[in-house]
């Protein structure tokens, strides 16, 4: 792929999109078309909570969340890492390859891309990621490939950690100095009446959290987007993958969801 002066684009992919082959195919089609027309480097960071939930149910293990984050007992991290860095990553890579993309599966640990440490002892093997060394990822991008990065990382001592995928995407975008789009099931942040909020500042978001308009996992997403906007010094978009025909415009910088503004 030809190098351009345009900043790379990190796309966080999560939610039910991962379980729908047709949706994924349309998404990868939009990415392929945009990559070709814009000659822009793109990396995907993904979650896969639904796969973990299914696996936990089959193994008769309880799923517990605290403040929107999955509690991950250390004895369960091999199972969760297998679902995210293994099954989810290869499902996405396989679909991307089927749709004609040169996809490479990676994790937060590869090439030291992100530094990961324990977030909170009460959460278990849940990591906090910060930007690391993007040299290996940049080499993959320079080769014209599409990196698909799971949110599993390693500490300095080699301990596997489960990182929230929104927070992982922020760290990857920081490592690459990239623009960031968080794609999810929802069209953005909705107000108390169910209407889309086009832009949000930190103060406005805090007020919506206090008023319990923004709740549960959306709090994590909103805080990750605000952190990214401030760290990267550029607006961050939270939008839905449900309208594939709008994704090319979104990737090109047109807002279709909620934009989080830097302070």
Q: What is the pLDDT of residues 125-139, one digit of tens each?
A: 999 999 999 999 999
- All structural domains of the chain with their residue ranges: 9-187
**The tokens 């099954």 sit on which residue?**
87
Catalytic residue among 15, 124, 153, 174: 15
Query: Is residue 27 within 8 Å of residue 13, measured between CB atoms?
Result: yes
Q: Which percentage of the chain shows pLDDT scores above 90?
A: 76
Residue 152 has pLDDT above 80, yes or no: yes
Q: Is 12 a catalytic residue?
A: yes
Q: Is 128 a catalytic residue?
A: no
pLDDT at 4: 57
Q: Is 166 a catalytic residue?
A: yes
Catalytic residue among 14, 47, 49, 127: 49
pLDDT at 249: 92
**Residue 2: band (very low, low, confident or very high) from pLDDT cuts 50, 70, 90:** very low
Instruction: Determine whether the annotation assigns residue 48 to a binding site.
Output: yes
Q: Is 174 a catalytic residue?
A: no
Return the number of other C-beta atoms located less than 10 Å from residue 211's C-beta. Answer: 11
Q: Is 49 a catalytic residue?
A: yes
Paired sense of beta strands 179-184 and 236-240, if any = parallel
User: Which CATH architecture group holds 9-187?
Assistant: 3-Layer(aba) Sandwich (3.40)
Q: What is the average per-residue pLDDT within 35-63?
A: 91
| Mean of the per-residue pLDDT values of the chain | 93
Instruction: Determine whether the annotation assigns residue 100 to a binding site.
Output: no
Residue whose C-alpha is closest to residue 15's, from 173, 166, 191, 199: 166
């Amino acid at each position: 792929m030809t190098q351009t002066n345009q900043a790379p684009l990190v796309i966080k992919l999560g939610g039910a999109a991962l379980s729908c082959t047709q949706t994924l195919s349309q998404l990868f089609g939009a990415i392929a078309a945009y990559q070709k027309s814009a000659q822009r480097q793109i990396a995907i960071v993904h979650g896969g909570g639904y796969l973990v939930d299914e696996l936990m149910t089959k193994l008769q293990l309880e799923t517990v969340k605290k403040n929107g984050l999955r509690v991950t007992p250390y004895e369960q991290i091999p199972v969760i890492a297998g679902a995210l860095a293994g099954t989810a990553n290869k499902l996405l890579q396989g679909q991307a390859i089927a749709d004609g993309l040169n996809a490479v599966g990676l994790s937060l640990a590869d090439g030291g891309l992100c530094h990961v440490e324990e977030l909170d002892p009460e959460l278990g093997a849940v990591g906090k990621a910060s930007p690391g060394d993007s040299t290996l990822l940049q080499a993959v991008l320079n080769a014209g490939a599409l990196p698909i990065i799971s949110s599993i990382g390693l500490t300095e001592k080699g301990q596997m950690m489960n990182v929230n995928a929104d927070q992982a995407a922020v760290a990857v975008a920081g490592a690459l100095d990239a623009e960031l789009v968080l794609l999810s099931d929802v069209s953005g942040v909705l107000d108390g009446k169910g209407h889309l909020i086009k832009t949000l500042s930190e103060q406005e978001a805090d007020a919506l959290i206090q008023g319990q308009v923004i709740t549960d996992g959306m709090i994590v997403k909103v805080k990750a987007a605000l952190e990214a906007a401030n760290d990267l010094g550029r607006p961050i978009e939270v939008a839905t993958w449900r309208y594939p025909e709008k994704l090319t415009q979104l990737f090109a910088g047109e807002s279709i969801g909620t934009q989080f503004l830097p302070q």
